[in-house]
């Protein structure tokens, strides 16, 4: 049975979907009903029982809340196993892009050992069922432009600016200790 919960966030209402102990996906536009037959992602956005008390959904909501509060840079959530081996390799590479940084499609293609597959990386990026948690918003065009984001370019811009602002400036030396 698919369970869902809704989370209000700075980028709008999010729908979290889970089955058992795994997060199936995050829907950035929950008012849009996805056709599970036309969408390759497993049941994300399909009919579900609203169950905000689910441990999996509660953990996802808590971690997303910490992220939006600037307290979390990495997620530790059980994700549903899905996607082709190629998609999984792209999603693993996305998860390695550091908070507040970006990579382009060609860089991701090279990281997974498929240097000529930038377009295929873009398609896999588009099929990422866990936006924010698996940070597909950190992938940009080769020229640095903000291209392609399932939640819209404005959300992508907001997430990237948020992450840049959430990184505290580094100081050359820590302040001196005074007893």
Catalytically annotated residue among 4, 27, 80, 136: 136
Is residue 128 predicted with pLDDT exceeding 90? Answer: yes
pLDDT of 39-59, one tens digit each? 444 444 445 566 666 899 999
This model's pTM is above 0.85: no
Mean pLDDT lowest among 36-40, 81-85, 127-131: 36-40
Q: What percent of the chain has pLDDT over 70?
A: 80
Sign of CA dihedral 130, 36, 85, 115: negative
Q: Where are the alpha helices (DSSP H) in 55-150?
A: 55-68, 85-95, 105-111, 118-126
pLDDT of 19-29, one tens digit each? 989 999 999 97
Mark whether 136 is an active-site residue: yes
The mean pLDDT of 3-12, rounded to a whole number, is 93
Q: Which residues of 43-62 are buried (b: 16+ CB within 10 A; e: fewer)?
A: bbbbebeeeeebebbebbbe
């Amino acid at each position: 049975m698919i369970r869902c919960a809704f989370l209000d966030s700075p980028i709008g209402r999010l729908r979290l979907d889970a089955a058992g102990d795994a997060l199936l996906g995050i829907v950035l536009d929950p008012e849009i009903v996805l056709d599970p037959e036309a969408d390759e992602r497993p049941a994300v956005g399909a009919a579900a029982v609203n169950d905000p008390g689910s441990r999996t959904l509660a953990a996802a909501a808590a971690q997303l809340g910490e992220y939006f509060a600037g307290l979390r840079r990495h997620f530790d959530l059980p994700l549903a196993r899905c996607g082709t081996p190629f998609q999984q390799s792209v999603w693993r590479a996305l998860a390695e892009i550091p908070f507040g940084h970006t990579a382009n499609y060609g860089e991701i293609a090279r990281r997974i050992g498929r240097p000529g597959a930038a377009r295929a990386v873009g398609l896999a990026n588009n099929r990422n069922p866990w936006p924010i948690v698996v940070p597909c918003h950190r992938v940009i065009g080769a020229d640095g432009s903000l291209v392609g984001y399932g939640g819209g370019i404005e959300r992508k811009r907001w997430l990237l600016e948020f992450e840049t602002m959430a990184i505290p400036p580094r100081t050359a030396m820590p302040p001196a200790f005074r007893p």
